Amino acid sequence: MQVTFRRIGVKSLLLATALVATMSAHADATITAIFGSGVGDNGWTAQSGSGVELALRARERFPVPTNNVPSNGAGTYNFSDTTAYSLYGFNNLASWNFDFSINSGTASVSGYTYQLGIDTDASAGMSFTVLDPLAVFNDNSFGNNGTTQGNGTDATIGTKAALAAANSIAQNS
C-alpha cells in the first residue's frame, strides 16, 4: 500500500508488511485511534487481507493538534505549509504528522514483520529509507479490538516487546 502525503519538500510514505498476501484497499476508513487524547477516528487509508489491516493518514499537528485530515478520499493528503514550527529543539517542522495503525486481528502484532518506508527522493524516482515502526518507535500505543478511543497502553523501551507480543493493535502518531 502506498499513501502519498503532499507538501512542498515532504516525501511520500509507504507502509507494507511481508507475509500478507491478497490485500484490499479502502480510503477514508474509520479506525479507532487508541493513542493520544481526543484524536479522531476518521480519514485513514487502509489495506486489509489475511486478517491484517494496515493504515496510514496525515493529520494537522501544528500550531495546535487537530483532527483535520485533509484527504481526497483516495489516499492523498494535502497540506499547504507556509510556516515552519519548532518543538523540543527541532526546527522547521511541518504542520502535519502521520499516524499509522497495525491491526493483526486476533494474532499478536509481533508475529509479523512491518516496514515503514520514507521516500527520500522527491523526483519521479523512488528511494526508500525503510524502518520497522514497532522496533524504532518506543512509544507506540498497544491494544486489541476491544480497546476504546485513547485507551491504548503506551509502550516504553522496556515494555514494547512484551506489549507487541500480548496485543493485536499497534498505533502511533
Cα distance between residue 113 and residue 104, in whole Å: 11
Q: How far is it, in rounded angstroms, from Cα 158 to Cα 34?
A: 20
Contacts of 101 (CB under 8 A, 6+ apart): 31, 33, 44, 46, 53, 54, 55, 56, 169, 170, 171
pLDDT of residue 27: 74
**How many C-beta atoms lie closer than 10 Å to residue 35's C-beta?**
24
Q: Which backbone phi and psi does 143 adopt, to 5 degrees?
A: -175, -165
Query: Which of 103-136 are b and which e, b meaning 16 or more Cβ less than 10 Å from the residue's Cβ?
Result: bbeeeebbebebebbebeeeeeeeebeeeebbee
Question: How many domains are contained in the chain?
Answer: 1
Residue 81 has a pLDDT of 72
**From first to last of its 173 residues, what are the pLDDT tens digits of the chain?**
344 443 333 333 333 333 334 456 677 889 999 998 888 898 899 998 888 999 999 888 888 778 888 888 888 888 877 778 888 888 888 888 889 999 999 999 999 999 888 887 777 677 888 999 999 999 999 999 999 999 999 999 999 999 999 999 999 98
pLDDT at 1: 39
| C-alpha cell of residue 31 | 479506525
Q: Give the Å distances, CA to CA, from 144 to 67, 81, 103.
A: 23, 35, 8
List the domain range (segments joined by +) for residue 144: 2-172
The answer to whether 172 touches 139, Cβ cutoff 8 Å, is yes
pLDDT at position 23 is: 54
Give the pLDDT of residue 2.
41
- pLDDT value of residue 29: 86
Q: Tell me, what's the pLDDT at 3?
A: 42
